[in-house]
């Protein structure tokens, strides 16, 4: 009886219900797996939209991708930049803040001596160094001499200037030289002037001279003659006129003034019939066989030029002609209008080719002075600072702030920032500067949590 019951068939519908139960169980498992996948995908998109990094320190230092157009945006996984939609590029190996690289100072851009804000050391492979054409050179001590190109003007030698004046009031009767620019010889007549004061002084001298010549003169009379002669000289009467008075013994109502030196008349300040006094300049005469060249030196070049430096002068009026000289004098004062000082040198002008007022080009060759120097191409100038890149072993290049002076075109003196024997980049410096700025920006973004 018992055995017969144990082999009875299952109730109707049991097999169907069992199958339904397994189908429902499988459906629930599939639904759970899909929910988990959607949740994970949603979290990934959300993280990418916020910059790829969650803001933790560990995630910040593991940024492996950046936007080439917006280097401040970094991510720890590939994708697109949410700002411009551009595909993210891998961060170059060796960039400060890159995963696996530890900066010596533990901060973006490094904290080692000579580090430059906004720039970071960079590491390049030998192939890339060759591709961009990097060349290096050593900081060495050289004797640098510069050349300053200035504008100069021809001027009369002030030592040869002579002013013709009379020391008594009078009236101009006749001008013997009435043209500015006329060439006169020493002793040539310039003008005739009538002066009652001069006439009276000449008459007194004639009387005293006649009294002494007649034998009636004593010590008192001799003193009077000497006083009369001294008075004529103080009034500017030339010795030739005094000799005429002694010879002819006749006072003249007119006095002719003669040229004191040979030269060119630069100024004529009187006309016939004009009344003049002791303060009136009549003529200005200069000997132009030797002239000055005066040039303006700009404020930034004050310390470079010294007396004795070699100078060259050229004018367009004399093509192919060059005048060599030495700087004779550097003026001690600065012009408040032009903020320049003047330098001058003298030139022989016996032929008269150089004329006062003529402009020309002045080249001053400053003296050579030993100093630390680098090639001009090694310095990256930004206007506010000067930077060079030191070449280290293993393809590493480090930016360094320097202070430089004015060079000779090929080399510039280094005042601070480098030492003799340092190796610096002499070509492709601007490419290294761009790469250094890019890596500093990436490093800064990585250390700030990857936020733009």
Q: Where residue 325 sits, what CATH number does that domain have?
A: 2.40.30.170
- Within-domain flag for 313: yes
Same domain? For 138 and 153 the reply is no
The CATH number covering residue 247 comes to 2.40.50.100
In a domain, 388, yes or no: yes
Half-sphere exposure of 187 (CA within 13 A, CB side): 3
What pLDDT, on the 0 to 100 scale, is given for residue 239? 84
Of 240, 257, 281, the domain-final residue = 281
Q: What six digits make up the tokens of 163?
A: 């002013």
Element (H, E) at 206: helix 196-213
Question: Does residue 422 share a domain with residue 379?
Answer: yes
CA distances, 273 to each of 55, 169, 257, 368 (Å)? 100, 13, 15, 61
State the residue for tokens 């001499």: 145
311 lies in some domain: yes
Nearest to 349 by CA among 157, 182, 158: 157
Q: Are 148 and 301 a contacting pair, CB within 8 Å?
A: yes
- Does residue 186 share a domain with residue 153? no
- Whether 137 and 180 map to the same domain: the answer is no
Helix (H) or strand (E) holding 375: strand 369-375
Last residue of a domain, one of 281, 297, 330: 281
Which pLDDT does position 356 carry in this prediction?
A: 92
In a domain, 382, yes or no: yes
pLDDT of residue 25: 67
Q: Mean pLDDT for each 10-residue chunk of the chain (452 residues)? A: 50 66 70 56 46 39 64 77 78 51 37 68 88 90 82 93 88 91 91 90 88 56 81 84 87 87 92 89 92 92 87 92 94 91 94 92 84 89 88 90 81 88 90 86 60 44
Angle between the 239-248 and 196-213 helix axes, to the nearest 10 degrees?
A: 50
Are 324 and 429 contained in the same domain?
no
What pLDDT is recorded for position 3? 47
Sheet containing 283-286, strands listed edge to edge, beginning at the edge strand earlier in sequence: 162-164, 283-286, 263-268, 183-184
CATH code of the domain covering residue 419: 2.40.420.20
Q: Are residues 363 and 381 in the same domain?
A: no
- Predicted pLDDT of residue 224: 85
**Has residue 327 been placed in a domain?**
yes
Position 208 scores a pLDDT of 87
If asked whether residues 298 and 343 sit together in one domain, one would say yes
Is residue 385, in this structure, part of any structural domain at all?
A: yes
CA 203 vs CA 198, 245, 275: distances in Å: 9, 9, 22
Predicted local confidence at residue 382, as pLDDT: 80
Rg of the chain in Å (alpha carbons): 48
CA dihedral 430, 431, 432, 435 (to 10 degrees): 120
**DSSP conformation letters of 239-294:** HHHHHHHHHH----S-EEEE-SSSEEEEEE---TT-EE-TT---EEEE-TTEEEEE
Q: Which residues are 148's β-sheet partners?
A: 364
Residue 155: CB atoms within 10 Å: 16
385 in the same domain as 302 = no
For residues 224 and 184, membership in a common domain is answered with yes
Are 407 and 326 members of one domain?
no
Whether the full predicted model's pTM is greater than 0.85, yes or no, is no
Residue with tokens 């005042």: 415
| Predicted pLDDT of residue 48 | 45
In a domain, 409, yes or no: yes
- Which of 367, 400, 430 is the last residue in one of the domains? 367
d(CA 130, CA 173): 89
What is the tally of structural domains in the chain? 4
Which pLDDT belongs to residue 51?
A: 43
State residue 175's pLDDT score.
93
Q: How far is CA 393 from the centre of its chain?
A: 35
What pLDDT, on the 0 to 100 scale, is given for residue 246? 87
Q: Is residue 314 assigned to a domain?
A: yes
Identify whether the C-beta of residue 72 lies closer than 8 Å to the C-beta of residue 447: no
* Range of the structural domain that residue 410 is part of: 122-142+370-447
Is residue 276 domain-shared with residue 180, that is, in the same domain?
A: yes
């Amino acid at each position: 009886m018992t055995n017969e019951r144990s082999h009875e068939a299952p109730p109707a519908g049991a097999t169907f219900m069992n199958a339904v139960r397994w189908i429902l169980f499988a459906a629930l498992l599939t639904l759970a797996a899909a929910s988990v996948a959607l949740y994970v995908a949603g979290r990934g998109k959300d993280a990418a939209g916020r910059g790829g990094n969650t803001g933790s320190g560990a995630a910040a230092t593991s940024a492996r991708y950046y936007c080439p157009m917006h280097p401040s945006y970094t991510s720890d996984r590939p994708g697109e930049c949410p700002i411009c939609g551009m595909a993210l590029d891998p961060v170059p190996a060796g960039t400060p803040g890159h995963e696996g690289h530890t900066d010596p100072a533990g901060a973006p851009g490094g904290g080692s001596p000579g580090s430059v804000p906004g720039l970071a050391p960079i590491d390049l492979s030998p192939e890339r160094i060759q591709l961009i054409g990097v060349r290096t050179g050593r900081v060495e001590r050289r004797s640098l001499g510069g050349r300053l190109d200035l504008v100069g003007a021809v001027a009369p030698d002030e030592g040869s200037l002579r002013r013709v004046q009379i020391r008594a009031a009078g009236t101009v009767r006749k001008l013997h030289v009435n043209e500015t620019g006329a060439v006169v010889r020493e002793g040539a007549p310039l003008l005739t002037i009538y002066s009652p004061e001069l006439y009276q002084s000449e008459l007194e001298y004639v009387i005293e001279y006649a009294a002494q010549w007649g034998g009636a003169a004593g010590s008192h009379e001799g003193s009077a003659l000497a006083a009369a002669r001294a008075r004529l000289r103080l009034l500017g009467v030339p010795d030739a006129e005094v000799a005429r008075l002694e010879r002819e013994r006749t006072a003249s109502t007119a006095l002719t003034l003669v040229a004191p030196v040979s030269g060119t008349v630069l100024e004529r300040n009187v006309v016939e019939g004009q009344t003049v006094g002791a303060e009136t300049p009549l003529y200005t005469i200069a000997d132009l066989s030797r002239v000055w060249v005066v040039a303006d030196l700009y404020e930034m070049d004050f310390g470079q030029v010294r007396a004795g430096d070699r100078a060259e002068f050229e004018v367009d009026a004399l093509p192919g002609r060059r005048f060599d000289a030495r700087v004779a004098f550097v003026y001690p004062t600065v012009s408040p209008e032009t903020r320049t000082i003047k330098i001058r040198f003298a030139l022989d002008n016996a032929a008269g080719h150089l004329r006062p007022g003529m402009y020309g080009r002045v080249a001053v060759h400053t003296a050579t002075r030993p100093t630390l120097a680098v090639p001009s191409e090694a310095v990256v100038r930004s206007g506010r600072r000067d930077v060079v890149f030191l070449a280290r072993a293993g393809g590493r290049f480090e930016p360094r702030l320097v202070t430089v002076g004015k060079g000779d075109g090929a080399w510039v003196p280094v005042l601070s920032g480098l030492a003799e024997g340092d190796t610096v980049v002499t070509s492709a410096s601007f490419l290294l500067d761009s790469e250094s700025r890019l890596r500093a920006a990436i490093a800064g973004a990585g250390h700030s949590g990857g936020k733009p």
